[in-house]
Protein backbone atom coordinates (compact mmCIF):
# COMPACT_ATOMS: atom_id res chain seq x y z
CA UNK A 1 0.00 0.00 0.00
CA UNK A 2 1.43 3.33 -1.06
CA UNK A 3 0.36 5.82 1.59
CA UNK A 4 2.47 8.87 2.47
CA UNK A 5 2.86 9.54 5.32
CA UNK A 6 2.78 5.87 6.32
CA UNK A 7 -0.07 5.02 8.72
CA UNK A 8 0.40 3.24 12.05
CA UNK A 9 -1.46 0.02 11.30
CA UNK A 10 -3.20 -1.56 8.34
CA UNK A 11 -5.33 -4.66 8.41
CA UNK A 12 -5.79 -6.10 4.91
CA UNK A 13 -5.83 -5.59 2.02
CA UNK A 14 -7.77 -8.51 0.65
CA UNK A 15 -8.87 -9.05 -2.90
CA UNK A 16 -12.51 -8.00 -2.31
CA UNK A 17 -13.23 -4.34 -2.46
CA UNK A 18 -15.54 -1.51 -1.53
CA UNK A 19 -16.70 0.62 -4.41
CA UNK A 20 -17.49 4.31 -4.70
CA UNK A 21 -19.65 5.47 -7.57
CA UNK A 22 -22.30 8.01 -8.49
CA UNK A 23 -24.76 6.36 -6.11
CA UNK A 24 -22.48 6.43 -3.06
CA UNK A 25 -24.11 8.54 -0.35
CA UNK A 26 -22.49 10.58 2.40
CA UNK A 27 -23.55 10.61 6.03
CA UNK A 28 -21.72 13.16 8.16
CA UNK A 29 -22.21 12.94 11.90
CA UNK A 30 -21.96 15.83 14.36
CA UNK A 31 -18.55 17.54 14.41
CA UNK A 32 -17.49 16.34 10.96
CA UNK A 33 -18.53 19.40 8.95
CA UNK A 34 -15.07 20.40 7.73
CA UNK A 35 -14.52 16.99 6.20
CA UNK A 36 -18.02 16.86 4.74
CA UNK A 37 -17.42 20.23 3.04
CA UNK A 38 -13.98 19.17 1.83
CA UNK A 39 -15.34 15.93 0.38
CA UNK A 40 -18.04 17.84 -1.50
CA UNK A 41 -15.75 20.68 -2.64
CA UNK A 42 -12.62 18.71 -3.48
CA UNK A 43 -12.74 14.93 -3.57
CA UNK A 44 -16.22 14.59 -5.09
CA UNK A 45 -15.55 16.97 -8.01
CA UNK A 46 -12.18 15.30 -8.72
CA UNK A 47 -13.86 11.96 -9.34
CA UNK A 48 -17.32 13.08 -10.40
CA UNK A 49 -18.91 11.70 -7.22
CA UNK A 50 -22.01 13.67 -6.14
CA UNK A 51 -21.86 12.23 -2.59
CA UNK A 52 -25.50 13.04 -1.98
CA UNK A 53 -26.64 12.95 1.64
CA UNK A 54 -27.85 9.52 2.66
CA UNK A 55 -28.68 7.34 5.68
CA UNK A 56 -26.18 6.23 8.29
CA UNK A 57 -26.66 2.57 7.49
CA UNK A 58 -26.50 2.62 3.68
CA UNK A 59 -24.58 -0.28 2.14
CA UNK A 60 -23.11 2.03 -0.53
CA UNK A 61 -22.20 4.89 1.76
CA UNK A 62 -19.36 6.92 3.15
CA UNK A 63 -19.88 7.72 6.82
CA UNK A 64 -18.05 10.22 9.01
CA UNK A 65 -18.25 10.31 12.78
CA UNK A 66 -16.39 11.21 15.94
CA UNK A 67 -15.14 8.55 18.30
CA UNK A 68 -14.10 9.73 21.74
CA UNK A 69 -11.95 6.67 22.31
CA UNK A 70 -9.45 8.05 19.82
CA UNK A 71 -6.96 10.91 20.26
CA UNK A 72 -8.15 14.17 18.65
CA UNK A 73 -6.02 13.79 15.50
CA UNK A 74 -6.29 10.00 15.27
CA UNK A 75 -8.63 8.23 12.88
CA UNK A 76 -9.84 4.80 11.91
CA UNK A 77 -10.77 4.20 8.29
CA UNK A 78 -12.77 1.07 7.53
CA UNK A 79 -13.52 -0.16 4.05
CA UNK A 80 -15.66 -3.22 4.67
CA UNK A 81 -17.40 -5.17 1.93
CA UNK A 82 -21.16 -4.85 2.31
CA UNK A 83 -20.82 -2.02 4.82
CA UNK A 84 -19.25 0.72 2.75
CA UNK A 85 -16.70 3.18 4.04
CA UNK A 86 -16.43 4.72 7.44
CA UNK A 87 -14.03 7.29 8.87
CA UNK A 88 -14.05 7.70 12.64
CA UNK A 89 -11.91 10.47 14.11
CA UNK A 90 -11.02 11.34 17.68
CA UNK A 91 -11.92 14.90 16.78
CA UNK A 92 -12.82 16.87 13.66
CA UNK A 93 -9.14 16.93 12.63
CA UNK A 94 -8.84 13.16 12.89
CA UNK A 95 -11.79 12.71 10.52
CA UNK A 96 -10.17 15.16 8.11
CA UNK A 97 -6.82 13.29 8.13
CA UNK A 98 -8.74 10.07 7.52
CA UNK A 99 -10.30 11.67 4.44
CA UNK A 100 -6.80 12.56 3.20
CA UNK A 101 -5.89 8.89 3.46
CA UNK A 102 -9.06 7.94 1.58
CA UNK A 103 -8.03 10.31 -1.23
CA UNK A 104 -4.67 8.53 -1.56
CA UNK A 105 -6.41 5.13 -1.62
CA UNK A 106 -8.53 6.33 -4.54
CA UNK A 107 -5.53 6.94 -6.81
CA UNK A 108 -3.95 9.91 -8.55
CA UNK A 109 -7.17 11.04 -10.28
CA UNK A 110 -8.53 11.95 -6.84
CA UNK A 111 -5.97 14.79 -6.81
CA UNK A 112 -7.37 16.52 -9.88
CA UNK A 113 -9.99 19.27 -9.97
CA UNK A 114 -12.38 17.64 -12.42
CA UNK A 115 -12.98 14.05 -13.49
CA UNK A 116 -10.89 12.70 -16.34
CA UNK A 117 -12.72 9.36 -16.36
CA UNK A 118 -16.34 10.27 -15.54
CA UNK A 119 -18.63 7.46 -14.53
CA UNK A 120 -15.80 5.20 -13.38
CA UNK A 121 -16.39 3.05 -10.32
CA UNK A 122 -13.60 3.53 -7.79
CA UNK A 123 -12.61 0.44 -5.88
CA UNK A 124 -10.77 0.27 -2.58
CA UNK A 125 -9.50 -3.03 -1.23
CA UNK A 126 -11.15 -4.22 1.98
CA UNK A 127 -9.02 -2.89 4.81
CA UNK A 128 -8.96 -1.15 8.15
CA UNK A 129 -6.42 1.58 8.80
CA UNK A 130 -5.68 2.92 12.26
CA UNK A 131 -3.55 5.99 12.38
CA UNK A 132 -2.41 8.91 14.55
CA UNK A 133 0.33 11.52 14.28
CA UNK A 134 3.57 11.36 16.21
CA UNK A 135 3.74 15.15 16.71
CA UNK A 136 1.16 17.88 17.18
CA UNK A 137 3.23 20.54 15.34
CA UNK A 138 3.84 19.43 11.75
CA UNK A 139 4.80 22.64 10.11
CA UNK A 140 5.83 24.38 6.96
CA UNK A 141 7.30 27.87 7.01
CA UNK A 142 6.96 29.94 3.87
CA UNK A 143 8.93 33.15 3.39
CA UNK A 144 6.74 35.50 1.36
CA UNK A 145 8.95 38.50 2.14
CA UNK A 146 11.96 37.69 -0.06
CA UNK A 147 9.67 36.73 -2.91
CA UNK A 148 6.00 37.49 -2.67
CA UNK A 149 3.64 34.55 -3.14
CA UNK A 150 0.29 35.83 -4.43
CA UNK A 151 -2.70 34.75 -2.34
CA UNK A 152 -3.78 31.94 -4.66
CA UNK A 153 -0.36 30.37 -4.26
CA UNK A 154 -0.68 30.49 -0.48
CA UNK A 155 -4.10 28.81 -0.62
CA UNK A 156 -2.61 26.16 -2.90
CA UNK A 157 0.18 25.52 -0.38
CA UNK A 158 -2.43 25.04 2.34
CA UNK A 159 -4.02 22.37 0.15
CA UNK A 160 -0.63 20.74 -0.40
CA UNK A 161 0.00 20.76 3.34
CA UNK A 162 -3.39 19.18 4.03
CA UNK A 163 -2.67 16.44 1.49
CA UNK A 164 0.44 15.60 3.56
CA UNK A 165 -1.31 15.89 6.96
CA UNK A 166 0.73 18.96 7.95
CA UNK A 167 -1.06 21.29 10.33
CA UNK A 168 0.96 24.46 11.11
CA UNK A 169 1.60 27.12 8.49
CA UNK A 170 4.30 29.51 9.71
CA UNK A 171 3.77 32.62 7.64
CA UNK A 172 6.98 34.69 7.38
CA UNK A 173 5.34 38.01 6.56
CA UNK A 174 7.99 40.66 7.13
CA UNK A 175 11.68 41.05 6.48
CA UNK A 176 14.30 43.52 5.28
CA UNK A 177 13.20 42.95 1.70
CA UNK A 178 9.45 43.39 2.07
CA UNK A 179 6.48 43.90 4.41
CA UNK A 180 3.53 41.80 3.23
CA UNK A 181 0.72 42.41 5.72
CA UNK A 182 -1.72 45.32 5.56
CA UNK A 183 -1.78 47.16 8.89
CA UNK A 184 -4.61 49.66 8.81
CA UNK A 185 -3.15 52.13 11.24
CA UNK A 186 0.22 52.22 9.45
CA UNK A 187 -0.58 52.28 5.71
CA UNK A 188 2.98 53.10 4.66
CA UNK A 189 4.11 49.63 5.81
CA UNK A 190 2.55 48.28 2.64
CA UNK A 191 2.47 51.45 0.48
CA UNK A 192 6.24 51.78 0.82
CA UNK A 193 7.38 48.61 2.57
CA UNK A 194 5.91 46.05 0.22
CA UNK A 195 7.95 47.01 -2.84
CA UNK A 196 11.64 46.97 -3.57
CA UNK A 197 13.23 48.56 -6.61
CA UNK A 198 15.17 45.58 -7.87
CA UNK A 199 16.27 42.07 -6.94
CA UNK A 200 19.55 40.22 -7.08
CA UNK A 201 18.74 36.99 -8.77
CA UNK A 202 20.14 33.53 -8.66
CA UNK A 203 23.02 32.83 -6.39
CA UNK A 204 23.52 35.16 -3.43
CA UNK A 205 26.87 36.26 -4.82
CA UNK A 206 25.50 36.61 -8.33
CA UNK A 207 26.35 39.89 -10.04
CA UNK A 208 23.02 39.74 -11.88
CA UNK A 209 20.09 41.95 -11.03
CA UNK A 210 16.55 42.03 -12.19
CA UNK A 211 16.03 45.74 -12.61
CA UNK A 212 12.33 45.84 -11.97
CA UNK A 213 10.26 46.43 -8.87
CA UNK A 214 9.18 43.36 -6.92
CA UNK A 215 6.44 43.34 -4.33
CA UNK A 216 2.92 42.72 -3.18
CA UNK A 217 1.03 42.31 0.06
CA UNK A 218 -2.04 40.68 1.57
CA UNK A 219 -4.98 42.84 2.54
CA UNK A 220 -6.59 42.11 5.88
CA UNK A 221 -9.44 40.41 4.04
CA UNK A 222 -6.91 38.25 2.17
CA UNK A 223 -5.52 37.21 5.54
CA UNK A 224 -8.98 36.47 6.93
CA UNK A 225 -9.59 34.29 3.89
CA UNK A 226 -6.24 32.49 4.26
CA UNK A 227 -6.79 31.88 7.98
CA UNK A 228 -10.33 30.58 7.41
CA UNK A 229 -9.25 28.40 4.48
CA UNK A 230 -6.49 26.96 6.66
CA UNK A 231 -8.90 26.36 9.56
CA UNK A 232 -11.21 24.40 7.24
CA UNK A 233 -8.21 22.13 6.68
CA UNK A 234 -7.27 21.93 10.37
CA UNK A 235 -4.19 24.04 9.75
CA UNK A 236 -3.19 26.80 12.17
CA UNK A 237 -1.56 29.89 10.67
CA UNK A 238 1.24 31.24 12.87
CA UNK A 239 2.15 34.77 11.75
CA UNK A 240 5.72 36.03 11.98
CA UNK A 241 6.46 39.73 12.41
CA UNK A 242 10.18 40.31 12.91
CA UNK A 243 11.68 42.41 15.70
CA UNK A 244 14.21 43.92 16.27
CA UNK A 245 16.26 42.77 13.24
CA UNK A 246 15.12 41.92 9.72
CA UNK A 247 13.09 45.13 9.74
CA UNK A 248 14.56 47.42 7.08
CA UNK A 249 11.32 47.41 5.07
CA UNK A 250 9.46 48.77 8.11
CA UNK A 251 12.15 51.41 8.69
CA UNK A 252 12.00 52.45 5.03
CA UNK A 253 8.27 53.05 5.53
CA UNK A 254 8.57 54.75 8.93
CA UNK A 255 12.12 56.17 9.30
CA UNK A 256 11.52 57.05 12.97
CA UNK A 257 11.67 53.30 13.73
CA UNK A 258 15.37 53.21 12.85
CA UNK A 259 18.53 54.44 14.53
CA UNK A 260 18.37 57.98 13.17
CA UNK A 261 21.35 59.16 15.22
CA UNK A 262 23.75 56.94 13.27
CA UNK A 263 22.13 56.52 9.88
CA UNK A 264 19.98 58.72 7.69
CA UNK A 265 16.92 56.51 7.99
CA UNK A 266 14.90 58.96 5.87
CA UNK A 267 16.90 57.94 2.82
CA UNK A 268 16.60 54.18 3.37
CA UNK A 269 14.62 52.08 0.95
CA UNK A 270 13.31 48.53 1.16
CA UNK A 271 16.44 46.41 0.95
CA UNK A 272 17.27 45.01 -2.47
CA UNK A 273 20.02 42.63 -1.44
CA UNK A 274 20.22 39.28 0.40
CA UNK A 275 21.85 38.60 3.74
CA UNK A 276 21.21 40.36 7.04
CA UNK A 277 20.64 44.11 6.94
CA UNK A 278 22.41 46.34 9.46
CA UNK A 279 19.30 48.50 9.72
CA UNK A 280 17.51 47.40 12.87
CA UNK A 281 14.86 48.94 15.11
CA UNK A 282 15.79 51.76 17.50
CA UNK A 283 15.30 50.67 21.12
CA UNK A 284 12.83 53.39 22.00
CA UNK A 285 9.46 53.43 23.70
CA UNK A 286 7.99 54.83 20.51
CA UNK A 287 9.17 51.72 18.62
CA UNK A 288 7.54 49.47 21.21
CA UNK A 289 4.26 51.40 20.96
CA UNK A 290 4.39 51.21 17.16
CA UNK A 291 4.82 47.43 17.17
CA UNK A 292 2.17 46.99 19.84
CA UNK A 293 -0.12 48.66 17.30
CA UNK A 294 1.02 46.19 14.65
CA UNK A 295 0.53 43.21 16.97
CA UNK A 296 -2.93 44.42 18.03
CA UNK A 297 -4.05 44.06 14.41
CA UNK A 298 -2.15 40.78 14.07
CA UNK A 299 -4.00 39.32 17.06
CA UNK A 300 -7.33 40.33 15.57
CA UNK A 301 -6.49 38.56 12.31
CA UNK A 302 -4.74 35.42 13.56
CA UNK A 303 -6.43 33.30 16.26
CA UNK A 304 -3.29 31.15 16.70
CA UNK A 305 -2.07 30.79 20.29
CA UNK A 306 1.51 31.24 19.10
CA UNK A 307 2.73 34.47 17.53
CA UNK A 308 6.24 34.47 16.06
CA UNK A 309 8.32 37.59 16.69
CA UNK A 310 11.43 36.58 14.74
CA UNK A 311 14.26 37.65 17.04
CA UNK A 312 17.02 36.15 14.87
CA UNK A 313 20.14 37.66 13.36
CA UNK A 314 19.88 41.13 14.86
CA UNK A 315 22.92 43.10 13.66
CA UNK A 316 24.28 45.13 16.59
CA UNK A 317 26.56 47.66 14.81
CA UNK A 318 24.09 50.52 14.87
CA UNK A 319 23.29 50.05 18.55
CA UNK A 320 27.01 50.00 19.31
CA UNK A 321 27.45 53.36 17.60
CA UNK A 322 24.18 54.97 18.64
CA UNK A 323 24.38 57.32 21.66
CA UNK A 324 20.63 56.88 22.15
CA UNK A 325 20.89 53.07 22.19
CA UNK A 326 23.87 53.24 24.55
CA UNK A 327 21.93 55.58 26.86
CA UNK A 328 19.08 53.08 26.83
CA UNK A 329 21.43 50.26 27.81
CA UNK A 330 22.70 52.29 30.82
CA UNK A 331 19.27 53.49 31.83
CA UNK A 332 17.84 49.96 31.83
CA UNK A 333 21.00 48.42 33.31
CA UNK A 334 21.25 45.97 30.40
CA UNK A 335 24.14 43.71 29.48
CA UNK A 336 25.23 45.59 26.35
CA UNK A 337 23.66 45.26 22.94
CA UNK A 338 22.69 41.62 23.49
CA UNK A 339 20.68 42.83 26.45
CA UNK A 340 18.84 45.27 24.22
CA UNK A 341 17.79 42.48 21.90
CA UNK A 342 16.42 40.49 24.86
CA UNK A 343 14.70 43.63 26.09
CA UNK A 344 12.70 43.73 22.86
CA UNK A 345 11.86 40.06 23.05
CA UNK A 346 10.90 40.16 26.73
CA UNK A 347 8.68 43.15 26.15
CA UNK A 348 6.62 41.33 23.53
CA UNK A 349 6.74 38.10 25.50
CA UNK A 350 5.02 39.88 28.42
CA UNK A 351 2.72 41.78 26.08
CA UNK A 352 1.53 38.65 24.25
CA UNK A 353 1.21 36.62 27.46
CA UNK A 354 -1.02 39.33 28.94
CA UNK A 355 -3.31 38.85 25.95
CA UNK A 356 -3.54 35.10 26.30
CA UNK A 357 -1.09 34.31 23.52
CA UNK A 358 2.34 32.72 23.54
CA UNK A 359 5.50 34.07 22.00
CA UNK A 360 7.62 31.93 19.73
CA UNK A 361 10.91 33.11 18.24
CA UNK A 362 14.08 31.86 16.57
CA UNK A 363 16.59 30.33 18.97
CA UNK A 364 18.54 33.58 19.46
CA UNK A 365 15.71 34.64 21.81
CA UNK A 366 17.04 32.20 24.40
CA UNK A 367 20.01 34.44 24.96
CA UNK A 368 18.18 36.82 27.29
CA UNK A 369 15.87 34.56 29.30
CA UNK A 370 12.19 34.03 28.52
CA UNK A 371 8.79 33.93 30.15
CA UNK A 372 7.58 30.42 30.98
CA UNK A 373 5.14 30.08 28.10
CA UNK A 374 7.55 31.20 25.37
CA UNK A 375 8.69 28.70 22.77
CA UNK A 376 11.69 28.45 20.50
CA UNK A 377 12.14 27.58 16.81
CA UNK A 378 15.49 25.80 16.84
CA UNK A 379 17.10 26.65 13.51
CA UNK A 380 20.86 26.85 14.13
CA UNK A 381 21.01 23.09 14.56
CA UNK A 382 19.54 21.25 17.54
CA UNK A 383 21.50 23.07 20.27
CA UNK A 384 19.00 25.87 20.88
CA UNK A 385 16.19 23.36 21.06
CA UNK A 386 18.08 21.20 23.54
CA UNK A 387 18.79 24.20 25.78
CA UNK A 388 15.18 25.32 25.54
CA UNK A 389 13.72 21.89 26.32
CA UNK A 390 16.12 21.45 29.25
CA UNK A 391 14.97 24.76 30.70
CA UNK A 392 11.31 23.83 30.32
CA UNK A 393 10.49 25.74 27.13
CA UNK A 394 8.60 24.22 24.26
CA UNK A 395 10.51 23.74 21.02
CA UNK A 396 9.79 23.41 17.34
CA UNK A 397 12.74 21.73 15.66
CA UNK A 398 13.77 23.16 12.29
CA UNK A 399 17.56 22.75 12.12
CA UNK A 400 18.87 24.34 8.95
CA UNK A 401 21.24 21.43 8.37
CA UNK A 402 18.25 19.08 8.03
CA UNK A 403 15.04 20.81 7.02
CA UNK A 404 15.82 24.10 5.28
CA UNK A 405 14.35 23.38 1.89
CA UNK A 406 16.10 26.29 0.17
CA UNK A 407 19.23 24.16 0.45
CA UNK A 408 20.21 22.17 -2.58
CA UNK A 409 18.87 18.65 -3.08
CA UNK A 410 21.93 17.17 -4.68
CA UNK A 411 25.59 17.86 -5.20
CA UNK A 412 26.82 19.01 -8.59
CA UNK A 413 26.25 22.00 -10.80
CA UNK A 414 22.92 20.77 -12.14
CA UNK A 415 20.80 22.11 -9.31
CA UNK A 416 19.16 25.40 -10.24
CA UNK A 417 20.89 27.53 -7.62
CA UNK A 418 23.52 26.10 -5.32
CA UNK A 419 22.75 27.12 -1.77
CA UNK A 420 23.76 25.81 1.61
CA UNK A 421 24.10 22.21 2.60
CA UNK A 422 23.22 19.33 0.32
CA UNK A 423 20.05 17.85 1.74
CA UNK A 424 18.76 14.95 -0.29
CA UNK A 425 15.33 13.38 -0.09
CA UNK A 426 16.89 10.61 1.97
CA UNK A 427 18.50 13.09 4.39
CA UNK A 428 15.12 14.68 5.03
CA UNK A 429 13.53 11.23 5.40
CA UNK A 430 16.05 10.47 8.13
CA UNK A 431 15.36 13.75 9.97
CA UNK A 432 14.64 13.09 13.64
CA UNK A 433 12.96 15.92 15.59
CA UNK A 434 13.92 14.63 19.05
CA UNK A 435 17.67 14.68 19.71
CA UNK A 436 18.97 11.73 21.75
CA UNK A 437 20.44 13.89 24.51
CA UNK A 438 16.99 14.82 25.83
CA UNK A 439 15.40 12.79 28.61
CA UNK A 440 11.86 11.54 28.06
CA UNK A 441 10.53 14.35 30.25
CA UNK A 442 12.52 17.00 28.33
CA UNK A 443 11.54 15.46 24.99
CA UNK A 444 7.90 16.25 25.77
CA UNK A 445 8.80 19.88 25.13
CA UNK A 446 9.49 19.08 21.48
CA UNK A 447 6.11 20.06 20.05
CA UNK A 448 7.19 18.86 16.65
CA UNK A 449 9.08 20.21 13.70
CA UNK A 450 8.76 22.30 10.61
CA UNK A 451 10.41 22.54 7.21
CA UNK A 452 11.44 26.10 6.32
CA UNK A 453 11.22 27.49 2.80
CA UNK A 454 13.24 30.69 2.50
CA UNK A 455 12.76 32.25 -0.90
CA UNK A 456 15.79 34.37 -1.78
CA UNK A 457 16.53 32.05 -4.69
CA UNK A 458 12.92 31.13 -5.45
CA UNK A 459 11.68 33.85 -7.71
CA UNK A 460 8.42 32.19 -8.68
CA UNK A 461 6.02 29.53 -7.38
CA UNK A 462 7.51 26.90 -9.70
CA UNK A 463 10.86 27.26 -7.98
CA UNK A 464 9.15 27.01 -4.60
CA UNK A 465 7.59 23.72 -5.72
CA UNK A 466 10.94 22.47 -7.00
CA UNK A 467 12.69 23.10 -3.68
CA UNK A 468 9.80 21.94 -1.53
CA UNK A 469 8.88 18.72 -3.29
CA UNK A 470 9.41 15.85 -3.04
CA UNK A 471 11.25 16.64 0.20
CA UNK A 472 8.10 17.84 1.96
CA UNK A 473 6.63 14.36 1.49
CA UNK A 474 9.63 12.86 3.32
CA UNK A 475 9.35 15.52 6.00
CA UNK A 476 5.63 14.78 6.45
CA UNK A 477 6.43 11.16 7.16
CA UNK A 478 9.19 12.12 9.62
CA UNK A 479 6.72 14.16 11.69
CA UNK A 480 3.55 12.08 11.28
CA UNK A 481 4.61 8.43 11.19
CA UNK A 482 5.98 6.33 13.99
CA UNK A 483 9.34 5.74 12.31
CA UNK A 484 12.30 3.95 13.86
CA UNK A 485 15.60 5.73 14.60
CA UNK A 486 17.05 7.49 11.53
CA UNK A 487 19.59 4.82 10.62
CA UNK A 488 16.92 2.11 10.76
CA UNK A 489 14.39 3.82 8.52
CA UNK A 490 13.48 1.95 5.37
CA UNK A 491 14.19 4.58 2.74
CA UNK A 492 13.84 2.01 -0.07
CA UNK A 493 10.25 1.41 1.04
CA UNK A 494 9.61 5.17 1.11
CA UNK A 495 11.01 5.47 -2.42
CA UNK A 496 8.79 2.61 -3.53
CA UNK A 497 5.74 4.39 -2.12
CA UNK A 498 6.89 7.60 -3.79
CA UNK A 499 6.35 5.95 -7.17
CA UNK A 500 2.62 6.19 -6.37
CA UNK A 501 3.01 9.64 -4.83
CA UNK A 502 4.66 11.37 -7.81
CA UNK A 503 1.51 10.81 -9.94
CA UNK A 504 -0.54 12.39 -7.12
CA UNK A 505 1.80 15.40 -7.16
CA UNK A 506 1.52 15.48 -10.97
CA UNK A 507 -2.27 15.51 -10.70
CA UNK A 508 -1.99 18.38 -8.22
CA UNK A 509 0.26 20.27 -10.65
CA UNK A 510 3.31 20.32 -8.39
CA UNK A 511 6.58 21.16 -10.20
CA UNK A 512 8.67 18.89 -7.98
CA UNK A 513 12.30 17.98 -8.51
CA UNK A 514 12.18 14.85 -10.68
CA UNK A 515 13.76 11.79 -9.06
CA UNK A 516 16.33 11.58 -11.84
CA UNK A 517 17.48 15.17 -11.31
CA UNK A 518 16.56 18.54 -12.72
CA UNK A 519 15.17 18.81 -16.22
CA UNK A 520 17.05 21.18 -18.54
CA UNK A 521 14.41 23.90 -18.27
CA UNK A 522 14.58 23.69 -14.50
CA UNK A 523 18.33 24.25 -14.62
CA UNK A 524 17.84 27.45 -16.62
CA UNK A 525 21.34 27.22 -18.04
CA UNK A 526 23.28 30.40 -18.46
CA UNK A 527 21.31 32.47 -15.99
CA UNK A 528 20.14 30.82 -12.82
CA UNK A 529 21.48 27.38 -13.44
CA UNK A 530 25.18 27.65 -13.04
CA UNK A 531 27.22 28.66 -10.04
CA UNK A 532 28.63 32.11 -10.72
CA UNK A 533 32.34 32.06 -11.64
CA UNK A 534 34.52 32.64 -8.65
CA UNK A 535 31.70 32.53 -6.11
CA UNK A 536 32.03 30.24 -3.10
CA UNK A 537 30.07 27.02 -3.69
CA UNK A 538 27.91 27.17 -0.62
CA UNK A 539 26.32 30.57 -0.24
C1 LIG B 1 16.84 32.05 10.10
O2 LIG B 1 17.07 31.21 9.23
N3 LIG B 1 17.52 33.18 10.14
C4 LIG B 1 15.84 31.82 11.11
- 214 included as an active-site residue: no
User: What is the distance in A from the centroid of ligand 1 to the CA of 379?
Assistant: 6
Ligand 1 probe mutation, 276, 399, 400, 453, most atoms within 8 A of CB: 400
Residue 79 backbone phi and psi in degrees, to 5: -115, 100
CA distance 218 to 180: 6
The mean per-residue pLDDT over the stretch 211-234 comes to 98
Q: Closest Cα partner for 434 from 407, 375, 406, 394?
A: 394
67 Cβ inside 6 Å of ligand 1:
no
Cα 94 to ligand 1 centre (Å): 32
Q: Read off the pLDDT of each residue in 252-260 and give the average, rounded to a whole number.
A: 98
Question: Is 78 within 8 Å of 54 (Cβ atoms)?
Answer: no
Distance 230 CA to ligand 1 centre (A): 24
Query: Average pLDDT of the chain?
Result: 93
Distance 310 CA to ligand 1 centre (A): 8
Which residues does 241 contact at the CB level (< 8 Å), separation at least 6? 173, 174, 181, 291, 294, 295, 298, 307, 308, 309, 310
Confidence of residue 162 (pLDDT cuts 50, 70, 90): very high
Residue 448's DSSP bridge partners are 137, 396
Residue-wise pLDDT for 398-419, tens only, equals: 999 999 999 989 887 677 776 7
pLDDT digits (tens, 9 = 90+) for 429-476: 999 999 999 999 999 999 999 999 999 988 889 999 999 999 999 999
pLDDT per residue over 23-73, tens digit each? 999 999 999 999 999 999 999 999 999 999 999 988 899 999 999 999 999
Choosing from 362, 399, 403, 453 the residue with most ligand 1 atoms within 8 A of its CB, the one to mutate for a pocket test is 362
CB 198 within 8 A of CB 270: no
CA–CA dist 359, 131 (Å, integer): 31
Confirm or reject: Cβ of 312 under 6 Å from ligand 1.
Answer: yes
pTM comes to 0.96
Residue 446 makes CB contacts below 8 A (sequence gap 6+) with 135, 385, 389, 394, 395, 396, 397, 433, 434, 438
Distance 101 CA to ligand 1 centre (A): 33
CA torsion through residues 191, 273, 277, 400, sign:
positive
**Residue 25 near residue 501, CB atoms below 8 Å:** no
pLDDT digits (tens, 9 = 90+) for 60-118: 999 999 999 999 999 999 998 888 899 999 999 999 999 999 999 999 999 999 999 98
Helices (H), 236-279: 248-253
The 3-state DSSP class for residue 111 equals: helix
The verdict on whether 313 is a catalytic residue reads yes
Ligand 1, atom 3, residue with closest C-alpha: 312
pLDDT bracket for residue 17 (50, 70, 90): confident
Active site annotation includes 159: no
Decide: 239 and 304 in contact? Cβ < 8 Å.
Answer: yes
Cα separation, 119 vs 106, in Å, equals: 14
How confident is the model at residue 539, as a pLDDT? 37
Identify the three-state secondary structure at position 195.
strand
Q: Which atom of ligand 1 is nearest to the CA of 454?
A: 2
pLDDT at res. 538:
41
Note the Cα 492 to chain centre separation in Å: 26
pLDDT-derived band at 519, boundaries 50, 70, 90: confident
Determine what percent of the chain is predicted with pLDDT higher than 70.
Answer: 95
Answer yes or no: is the C-beta of 175 below 6 A from any ligand 1 atom: no
Amino acid sequence: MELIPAPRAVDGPTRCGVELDEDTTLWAGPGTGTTERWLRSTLGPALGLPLTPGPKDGANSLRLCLDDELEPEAYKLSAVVGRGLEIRGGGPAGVFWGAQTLRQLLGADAFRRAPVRPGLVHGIAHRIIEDAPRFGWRGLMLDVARHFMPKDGVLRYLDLMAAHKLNVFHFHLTDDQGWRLEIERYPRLTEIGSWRARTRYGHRASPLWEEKPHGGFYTQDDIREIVAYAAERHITVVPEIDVPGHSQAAIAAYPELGNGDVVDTGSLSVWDDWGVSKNVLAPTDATLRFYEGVFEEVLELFPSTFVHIGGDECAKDQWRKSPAAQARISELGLAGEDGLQSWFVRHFDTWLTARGRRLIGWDEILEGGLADGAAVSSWRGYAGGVTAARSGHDVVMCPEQQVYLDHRQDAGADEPVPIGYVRTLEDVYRFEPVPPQLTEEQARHVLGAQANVWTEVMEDPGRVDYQTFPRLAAFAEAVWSDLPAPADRDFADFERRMTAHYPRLDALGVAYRPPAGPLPWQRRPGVLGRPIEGAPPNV
